[in-house]
Structure 1
């Protein structure tokens, strides 16, 4: 963590604004500090000797990840600057996993109003540097090094190299040839490299935290002349930092030939240990340092990463990509299929995280026990039918949490076991009284971390905590600048005039403001309340140390006004329960499975009508009418449906009941019964090719994947499908059929198909889609009748994960893959076979 000097340092930086334009606060140019910045652990530069990296005279190898959004984010409410918390939390999470290098697109920032260079005409946007300054400074304070691409091949939200060609009306290829475009790109890079970070007092090009500058992300059109010219300039501007280059998927031979390139960056979707080994040998054979700059995190396994860990030619591998905690609760979500959260949202992601930790321990052992996580922050306590519903902001490195409650000063767990970040919001099933809560993080070794600050809540009140990372929770504000502090954000006056922030909530009873002030000085602040948000009256407040408290008297608006050296770090508001309950929940009943239903699938979705005044529901499912020995028991259900896990046996009768609960009492619904569908005892035909009249009709159904090598489907006598293929540069060829309607293969054990081959030997991959989720299995040199249990199909490394829902068998693909050459694969009688 940063040294104690952090808070005193940022107190003097009065104009580094992080507020997005939608909530724009006042700002001004960053100012250099008058004393040394946060103490960086990175005191020496990473250096290159031939094909190896070293640090302080010892070999330097690393595990790492990509956190592309540290400068400008797209994942929380649209494009905007990430909060200081999200930056800090993601970097701390990488550190907790043993990672020592992060690759980030934070300086690929052009072409939009929030970027570093909105346009050549507008010039540089100083406000956009605030998050970049902080990310670099904070990474250094925890010993993480950075690889920073300077533009992008692709036109994503943060911009790319077309932002340099479009103003001249030129095609994108002119980025590498037009002298005006090259000069503009170099001017951008020069400005960035020479920027003085106000949080460290160092220019970017003099900071050992920046290990390498990359020409751009996955640049496809680089020429040797272009690489050499830019490498020469970059070496002049940043002589002690390394230069990296790479393109998508394979190795650009010009990067191997260019004398100014130190690191060749190769990307993998999907990666294989064999491909990594071969590419590392190629790169180091050319005298360069090899780095896997991106690989699909979904592919991370011990089998993939153990061989590179043992290969000295592999300097480092960086997964794509890490996301940390949301500012309010849970995780920041992303939808590219490779999102990684620590410790993992599901078994597949958790296994990927463990494999990356193991890789880190092999290539760059930390040499010390990781610090304990914490503290979380309780961000909200709402009332749900009189019961307390807690939200908390998670802590980096936490594998789970224990919510503790206290009535008279002694803390005790409020639930059995450990809750994950995905269990927030969490309902306390027993709360209906005045008490305090705190959240304790637990690390992967079962150790308790630092607990959150306790929050006191009465039986009739709710709580909202605003950590002031942005002004997004505020009703209004003026004259406010948000700066980073030691583990907090600090809202400060942006000038000598008075600043203010207001909040709007019905029936506010009490407010509390945490502050930082000049040493020994009393906070210079006033608290005001209003019924309409226009007419304000000042109320009496008390100050105890750095905390201001005031009674709001049931007003709907409250604000604080302050000036001078005072800064706010948190606002907490207690309000009256907006919908108190006075009786137990109302009557309700079961909906699905319908009472008496038969042939229900083994994992049904239970649903019921809503009960008036319900806070949550409990569900019990049993094979017995009196509900003893339940096979399924769930509680804390806030909606009126619940998807059953795979615990119900086929061909049996089950009984179920739901109970509605609130702070006054509980109401039970009727007990209902249903029968599950028995397992099939006959195979289901997927395709026997009998319905096709000719090859043209077959080809319209089985469509070639145009990204692969040539392959042609032909209908052969006897009604089978012949696939003639020629494998070349792509290394694969395949066809896909989409079914309408999708067959129902529920309960079947696997796929069976007849295969015969001639010509070049090739692996055969059977791939299918169920419920929008991909599964595949690869056969090595198959021949004859082949059976593949569904249990042996896996998600492709490039695809997202999800359940195997055989009720919707939507798509079937057949791929051949291997070395160059031609061949023929004949496919017949594709069926799903039963377990019997």
Structure 2
């Protein structure tokens, strides 16, 4: 419990200037020989984003505010409807290296991706944050952290420059890394419900909101509350305890502070009646996990019927489909739909990953995600068609490493790219280094065909197959590696001091944080040459230094031409750049010697699984082998012929020692396989091995016939009731050939009731066609959902049995629930079975018997 002696935040703000000093920058290190960057406490730490620099162009295209007319939004007197998404982390991130500020590139790339999908509104509740040292308001005693506004300033300014509007929740119901409304109650030792009733807490929340709204963005020269890019302020994300008095009082305050922007409110699920009745609320925000078109349309009718604007502020991106979005697009009551949630490219290669089950990348990591992305693009085209698709920016080759003498490339992707062509040039002519397109998920990528000195560039291709601006070429010698640091952060450096990273025009600019000299150092053994890209009003004021131990430094000669500083560094292990004045650093490129050159082809190795001669191998095996000394990558060949002709499965560029079969092999067949280890000097083959796959089962596999239960109490222990649902009780009852399970239920406020059995160990129903079960239902009409879990992935199917008897559901008819992540159907690990009843209020009885997995060969019914 925090001390109650803390003064009121509202009182404190009256006594402190709005322009509080930023957090202190690391102490600058020495520039001369003998001064090492690794000796102080700041060495290796990440620098916070600095105050925005003069290089960022203020070119907002959002010159007019979105307005409300009854239950509709308008822009320039015309209806304004939108497709949108959530990019919650724009102000403060958790997904790359722990909690920290996102780089300007990640902010820009994610917003560009939304734009490329045709989206015009983004919701982000990390644009306001409390309760930790990196947030806007770390705590009452510490006051505001002005350094935390740098990423928010940039996100708002950049969104405006590409025509994106923002919905900004001001706090959160939930206590994640960014904080929430409990940060206002905890200092007083109060329960969270006091956020809506205690006058001190309410005053602190309002003071925080006032400070955020009145913030003057140095990139635009406009206060947040005077920027048309901010379409709406939302009281908070999914606030559950709002009262009518609280809503009305805060709406009046916020309206006075931001008179030309809109006020939004919403709870976690369903519609809060108090928001419908509040005269100061413009937009009612409803969330869906999962959504259905019928529910969205019904909620939109209820909200617009009360004279408010309806938006779906969050819906599961995994549920995006034409079946959901086409009817919604045709309904003018639906102003906007915003998926959860979009992530862009990583600073080095690939995408930023998140594990909540609803992560969305463009154009999609797999078929299901790609379908979701296409559905959202189509929805955007219906509700707010774009005049033209934005051009693709150039990628950036961030690294060329050596893997057993072969070049391994990483590149930072570009928003809107469906894929890339890596091109190489040895003597001036550019040619594709591979067939087809490589995706962002294919980085790092090994070039199997390069020999000697070569140049690379990466060409982006959009979803229509059009090529766009290539990356800047990168030269790499036969025994050399390349590292490119775009100085979006200091994570690649071995030390730094007095550095402020600021946004420029499409780049980050590392500038001196004050009048003292700035420096950055890199530790790359055997560095032979460096190039620093700089911006400067005149001749750049720089020094290049090298060191063998990171402590004793010597200055080396450099050349400076056309914004580039180059130097030979003689194989030094440590390099650093020192600069001052008006000079800014935008990129560092280091070329170093191959740390592990090879002198022979890979060594011999053996195959592990499937074991040579193995039988009854499952149809989608994982192939594995022992490592080969000196291997850069492996190729896999699988064939039904002993001489490996006409392979049914081929894989190449495999850097590990295992490879899962992407498709099921034919049951009951014999296969032959071999792996080849490859490096820059040749290839080494493994012996050829054979195995036989398991034949399809010919008889049903029992999931549960309920015969093993001694009494109803034992059955109830096995089939646990879902605690979130309405009452339901399992009991043993007579079945067709023995015992069955009778579920007595009473549907009420939850609208569903269900039971779940977990199998230990998991059942193996591989190769079967689907589930068969006998159902007998009595009571009001109800939907019956059969749900199961295989390999940790949920699948379900909903039906309404017309008459008692056996029902068959092919496994192909089961889909992932909208609230659950997608994944493969691994029937060898059938771990859980659930049975749910859903519908309107009322009591009923469902009898379940003879749950089996039926075989594909069974055609008797």
Establish whether TM, by shorter chain, passes 0.5. yes
Partner residue in 2 for 1:599: 616
Aligned pair in 2 of structure 1 residues 127, 23: CA closer, same or farther (>3 Å)? farther
Residues 17 and 750 (structure 1), Cα distance of their counterparts in 2 relative to 1, 3 Å cut: farther
Distance 2:47 2:369 in 1: 41
Matched with 1:524 is: 541
| SS of residue matched to 2:359 | coil
| 2:432 match | 413
Q: Does 1:811 align with 2:828?
A: no
| Structure 1 residue runs of 4 or more that deviate by more than 6 Å after TM superposition | 14-22, 25-29
Q: How does 1:748-763 map to 2 (within 5 A)?
A: 748-763=768-783
Q: How does 1:407-806 map to 2 (within 5 A)?
A: 407-518=426-537, 521-717=538-734, 718-783=738-803, 784-806=805-827
Question: In structure 1, what is the equivalent of residue 36 of structure 2?
Answer: none
Superposed, 1:172-211 pairs within 5 Å as: 172-211=192-231
1:741 counterpart SS class: strand
Distance 2:431 2:127 in 1: 47
In the TM superposition, what whole-angstrom CA distance separates every residue of 1:421-453 from its partner, at most 9, and x where no partner exists? Answer: 000000001123100000111100000111111
Please, which of 231, 241, 251 is the counterpart of residue 271 of structure 2? Answer: 251
Distance 1:249 1:21 in 2: 45
SS in 2 for 1:360: helix
Deviations 1:700-726 (A, max 9, x none): 000000111111101013300000111
Q: What is the Cα deviation at residue 107 of structure 1?
A: 3.3
The answer for the alignment partner of 2:353 in structure 1 is 333
- For residue 27 of structure 1, report the CA deviation from its aligned partner: 7.5
* Alpha-carbon spacing, 1:17–1:585, altered in 2? closer, same or farther (3 Å): farther
Deviation at 1:379, TM superposition (A): 0.6
| Structure 2 Cα separation of the partners of residues 106 and 333 of structure 1 | 17
Aligned-pair CA distance for 1:401: 0.5
Distance 1:794 1:780 in 2: 17
| Pairwise CA distance, 1:43 | 0.2
1:4 maps to which residue?
none
Unaligned 5+ runs, structure 1: 1-13
Match of 2:847 among 809, 826, 829: 826
1:781 CA displacement: 3.3
RCO higher in structure (CA 8 A, sep ≥6): 2
Q: Is the 8 A contact 1:103 1:148 kept in 2?
A: yes
Q: Secondary structure at the match of 1:81?
A: coil
**Could you tell me how far 1:22 is from its partner in structure 2?**
8.7
Q: Does 1:353 align with 2:373?
A: yes
Q: Is the 8 A contact 2:788 2:794 kept in 1?
A: yes
Q: Does 1:170 align with 2:187?
A: no
CA 18–142 in structure 1, closer or farther in 2 if over 3 Å, else same: farther
> 93-102 or 722-731: which moved more?
722-731
Do the aligned partners of 1:96 and 1:370 also contact (CA within 8 Å) in 2? yes
Scaled by the length of structure 1, the TM-score of the pair is: 0.96
* SS of residue in 1 equivalent to 2:129: coil
Provide the rounded CA distance (Å) in 2 between the counterparts of 1:30 and 1:511.
Answer: 28
Tell me if the contact between 1:711 and 1:725 (Cα under 8 Å) persists in the aligned partners: yes
Q: Using a 3 Å threshold, how does the CA distance of structure 1 residues 26 and 66 change in structure 2: closer, same or farther?
A: closer
Say whether the 8 Å CA contact 1:372–1:447 is kept in structure 2.
no
Superposed counterparts of 1:282-431, under 5 Å: 282-366=302-386, 368-431=387-450
Distance 1:825 1:424 in 2: 52
Distance 1:107 1:46 in 2: 20
Q: 1:37, CA displacement in angstroms?
A: 5.5
Structure 1 residue 79: Cα displacement: 0.4
One of 238, 253, 256 as aligned partner of 1:233 = 253
CA distance in 2 between counterparts of 1:486 and 1:28 reads 16
- Residues 138-170 of structure 1: CA deviation (Å, up to 9, x unaligned): 000000000000001111110100000000000
**Residues paired across the two proteins, number:** 819
TM-score (norm 2): 0.94
Q: Is the 8 A contact 2:498 2:514 kept in 1?
A: yes
Q: Give the Cα separation in 2 of the matches to 1:569 and 1:592.
A: 49
Instruction: Name stretches of at least 5 consecutive residues in structure 2 with no aligned partner.
Output: 1-20, 27-40
Contact 2:392 2:414 in 1 (8 A): yes
Change (3 A) 1:82 1:509: same
Structure 1 CA distance, aligned partners of 2:662 and 2:374? Answer: 25
> Structure 1 residues 24 and 133, CA, compared in 2 at 3 Å: closer, same or farther?
farther
* Structure 1 equivalent of residue 18 of structure 2: none
Sort the Cα spacing of 1:216 and 1:611 in 2 relative to 1 into closer, same or farther, 3 A.
same
Could you say which residue in structure 1 is the equivalent of 2:136?
116
Alpha-carbon RMSD: 1.7
